[in-house]
Amino acid sequence: MYCLELAGEADDESLAALEAERAAATAVERVAPGLATARGVRLGRVPTLAYTHRVSELVGRTDADVESAVALLRAASVDRTGSVAVRGRDVRSSSGVSASAAERALGGVLVDRGFEVDLDDPDHVLRACFSDGTCLLGWEAAASVRDFGTRAPTDRPFFQPGSMNPLDARAYVNLAAGPALPDATVVDPMCGTGGILIEAGLVGARAVGNDAQWKMSRGARENLGAYLPDAEWDVVRGDATALPLRDDTADAVVFDAPYGRQSKIARHELADLVGGALAEAARVAPAAVLVADRPWADEAEDAGWAVDARFERRVHRSLDRHVHVLSRA
């Protein structure tokens, strides 16, 4: 069993758990605010997760107080050698437990067992996560790479307002293509500046982009060339309702639909554009994630999709994003 430390806010937890389960873990169960357990984990995929910080091999679960954590560790077998460190967390300040007090007490148990404490470069890290009424103890096994700030949309060679942040783009790629990663082909039929494609390429997928606007397709190529110099990718200019791709040529489709502040998008009405793009997505791939400013569940079902999950996420006061996680019906 494993302990997962979830990233984001409380409203992100359902999405975080599903992302982990689709891209890296099995039988994920949320057990307390910011914490989940999993039966199995592909540890090599954990660095690519967006909404999971760390994964630990679970020692056990107990009440959220230092005495209970100490008793749990004393009763546990520890089949490890080398130096250790203890890292405590009061997750989202929900338990009232002093992390430093937990670190001292648990470190004392390990010293009594003959371990040397090395706070700077330990061979093993014991994580004590306290949340609400629960404590999970585990040996850290993998962590996600939190480098999303290095790819801010405004720092890319080509930028347009409204671009999705890399953290969310990574999560949506994992939700759609997770089971097939890293050997997956991910298509974005409305790729804009290429943010989703960049994250797809960085997790090992072949990224294929399409956009109706020449400026966008050219700018996406510029961005992908900067961030994916050694990866395999393609970007073309075309119509999202008539993709130049063969049937079942991809593993997943991920796209951020236009937000419809105007009455027409190129030559299509917005509903026709989104419905047509969904139908094309179902033709070329068995899984998809659609992000939009409104629910499109009915249109997705009409296009041949089953809606596995839908999340409503606040961007700012005047915009909520609706995230549809789809599988071919």
The token duo for 270 is 């917005």
Between strands 252-256 and 84-90, the pairing is: unpaired
The CATH number of residue 238's host domain is 3.40.50.150
Residue 266: its pLDDT value, please?
A: 54
Please check whether residue 217 is in contact with residue 151, taking contact to mean a CB–CB distance below 8 angstroms: no
Written as one letter, the residue type at 76 is: A
Tally of residues, the chain: 329
- Please indicate, yes or no, whether residues 17 and 135 belong to a single structural domain of this protein: yes
Residue 264: its pLDDT value, please?
A: 44
Q: Which of 121, 143, 165 is the last residue of a domain?
A: 143
Number of Cα atoms under 13 Å in the Cβ half of residue 239: 11
- Please indicate, yes or no, whether residues 87 and 189 belong to a single structural domain of this protein: no
Cα 290 to the center of its chain, rounded Å: 15
- Please indicate, yes or no, whether residues 172 and 313 belong to a single structural domain of this protein: yes
Q: What is the DSSP letter of 117?
A: B
CA distance 42 to 284: 27
Q: Which of 118, 143, 168 is the last residue of a domain?
A: 143
- Please indicate, yes or no, whether residues 90 and 48 belong to a single structural domain of this protein: yes
pLDDT at 91 over 70: yes
Residue 269: its pLDDT value, please?
A: 85
CA distance 135 to 64: 5
Q: What is the mean pLDDT of residues 168-183?
A: 97
Tell me the residue range of the domain where 115 lies. 2-143
- Please indicate, yes or no, whether residues 123 and 155 belong to a single structural domain of this protein: no
Q: What tens digit of pLDDT does each residue of 218-276 get? A: 999 999 999 999 999 999 999 999 999 999 999 999 999 998 654 345 566 899 999 99
- Please indicate, yes or no, whether residues 58 and 90 belong to a single structural domain of this protein: yes
Q: What tens digit of pLDDT does each residue of 269-294 get? A: 899 999 999 999 999 999 999 999 99
pLDDT at 189 over 70: yes
- Please indicate, yes or no, whether residues 185 and 240 belong to a single structural domain of this protein: yes
- Please indicate, yes or no, whether residues 177 and 307 belong to a single structural domain of this protein: yes
CA distance 54 to 174: 16
Q: What tens digit of pLDDT does each residue of 296-314 get? A: 999 999 999 999 999 999 8
Q: What is the mean pLDDT of residues 15-32?
A: 98
- Please indicate, yes or no, whether residues 72 and 129 belong to a single structural domain of this protein: yes
Residue of higher predicted confidence among 182 and 267: 182
Q: What tens digit of pLDDT does each residue of 66-85 get? A: 999 999 999 999 999 999 99
Rounded to 10 deg, the angle between the 195-202 and 214-227 helix axes is 30
Q: What is the mean pLDDT of residues 27-38?
A: 98
Number of Cα atoms under 13 Å in the Cβ half of residue 208: 20
For residue 97, give every residue at least 6 positions away whose Cβ sits within 8 Å of its Cβ, in sequence order, or none: 64, 65, 66, 88, 90, 130, 135
Number of Cα atoms under 13 Å in the Cβ half of residue 137: 27
* Sole residue written with tokens 């630990």: 56
Which range among 109-123, 212-226, 282-296, 315-329 shows the weakest confidence by mean pLDDT? 315-329
Residue 315: its pLDDT value, please?
A: 81
pLDDT at 62 over 60: yes
Q: Count CB atoms within 10 A of the CB of residue 63.
A: 14
Q: Which of 143, 166, 192 is the last residue of a domain?
A: 143
- Please indicate, yes or no, whether residues 173 and 322 belong to a single structural domain of this protein: yes
The rounded mean pLDDT for the chain is 95
Residue 232: its pLDDT value, please?
A: 95
pLDDT at 194 over 80: yes
Cα distance between the two ends of the chain: 32
Q: How many structural domains are present in the chain? A: 2
Q: What percent of the chain has pLDDT over 70?
A: 97
- Please indicate, yes or no, whether residues 83 and 165 belong to a single structural domain of this protein: no
Please check whether residue 180 is in contact with residue 251, taking contact to mean a CB–CB distance below 8 angstroms: yes
CA distance 173 to 178: 7
Of 185, 188, 199, 203, the residue nearest 151 (C-alpha): 199
The CATH number of residue 76's host domain is 3.30.2130.30
Q: Count CB atoms within 10 A of the CB of residue 75.
A: 10
- Please indicate, yes or no, whether residues 202 and 218 belong to a single structural domain of this protein: yes
Q: What is the mean pLDDT of residues 163-180?
A: 96
Of 91, 111, 89, 92, the residue nearest 100 (C-alpha): 89
Residue 125: its pLDDT value, please?
A: 98
Which range among 17-31, 46-60, 94-108, 313-327 shows the weakest confidence by mean pLDDT? 313-327
